[in-house]
Structure 1
Amino acid sequence: MLYLPHLRLKCWLCVVRSRSTLSMLFFTDSGLIRLGDKEVLLSRQSKICLTFLCEHAGEIISKERLQDACWKQYGTVVSENTVRQTLFRLRKSLASLGVVEDILETQGYAGYRLRPDYIIVVPNTHEFRLMEQRSTIETAKENIHPDTHSLQQPLSAVKPIVSKSKLITCILFLFCLFFATGAYLRSQQFIHPLHYSEAVNQDGHTFYISNYVKNNNAELMSRVNYWLIKMKIKTTQNSKIYINSDHGNSINLFVCNGDIEADNSYCESMAVIGRNHP
């Protein structure tokens, strides 16, 4: 089965190459003009004018019609002098490519005429380069395998192994996996089960001491009692004090009005830092 779309593109490229010695390529999306190994980039207004003239190559375009199509249509009103200056710059750009012939002719007061068959319009620069790549690949294939049919699909040899979107997806997945693993390991360092000792009564308060307490229990409860009185924290006979941890000179505790597991209990968190007490 013939690959007809590729045949059409390939033949179009062949036509361009066969005429490249006489014709310029005009890429309307970028405003680039190419003749052989020379290139020139047009200004926005010159690109608009040349595009319109190429669409009507061989016709005599009046100044008024050129003004309407290339300026007024885009919301700008200009004088005839502006039109002449723009076409002057356009001729100068063409001359920089080594064009000797007067491709853009002035027809007296009638207007301007772009000579046909000198400029080939290429609407999309990317597609043209893609066709050039395809042609280069096919030529290399034919040199290696002369008997290979020239209408084979050319892009199979340059098909990317991994698409860009799949690569980005893999990177995002690895990042999320790394983040989730780090968060889990971090949580294991900060979340610890607390186991409290039997109730210990001292100075009218009921204490429960966790398994993370390392210092002397009697001194620890004495310090806590001092700061409860110092900070005027109200306690009752039913109040229970849960000492969670002590690290150096710091103590972390809860002051609850009942059992910490009870739904109706109210607890205050308190931290004692330093050993400034009698």
Structure 2
Amino acid sequence: MHHGDLAEVTILFFTDTGLIRLEDKEIILSRQSKLCLTYMCEHEGNIVSKESLHDACWKKHGAVVSDNTVRQTLFRIRKSLASLDVEGEILETLGYMGYRLKPGCITLVSDSQNYSLPERHDSVNQNQETSAISVSDTSKSAVKKKPANIKLRVLTLLLCCLFFIAGLLIRGQQLIHPLRYGESLQLNGHTILFSQYVENDKHESATRVNYWLNKMQVSITPQSKIYINADRGNAINFFVCNGEIELATTFCQTFAVIGRNHP
């Protein structure tokens, strides 16, 4: 059911809780929407630019946002007002000029705890009834909803973190593979060891490594050991260490070669 003309409509806006109410309909605004609507109410009837909104509702509070964020916040405010079933547009968009809140449509209430609704006429019985209904209970119930929403957000954040950590662990297990060196081979006086990921012929792999070490003029001593980590297709990866790889004092060079550019 839509309410009457805007001139006959008075929406209550409780600035301490962010609650907006029209008769039996109400909605709670987010903190940012509450700040913006409060600023628009303080300047009702006047054109408010995006820049002044940005400065008053974001920059003043230590935040810098884009024009799109300002537009989205105003859109959410307009959507919240529309949910009260008011005919006509209360918050107008005036192109590049900015926005204008129609005067006399929203009444600001700074203290919801001590506010009582005014008397009103019953249109059906034509009898005057004093409705000294305090909205403090409504405001309190609205405030009570916030902890539940906060708990839900915290729980959602924790679940997201758990899924993220689990994803990292699974991804790590897929990417990290232990190297175990078994069979060894002697070539040109050097010891060459092969991991379980060497799929090509081991003698051919050793010959290929020796070719690249000579081509790149890598310095090798009699104590040096060569560890071939992987040899699949045309890609080969190996270490050249100055001793046993298990020792903490051992220094290793890493080589990765793609292609078979050797005799």
Structure number with the higher strand fraction is 2
Larger-gyration structure (1/2): 1
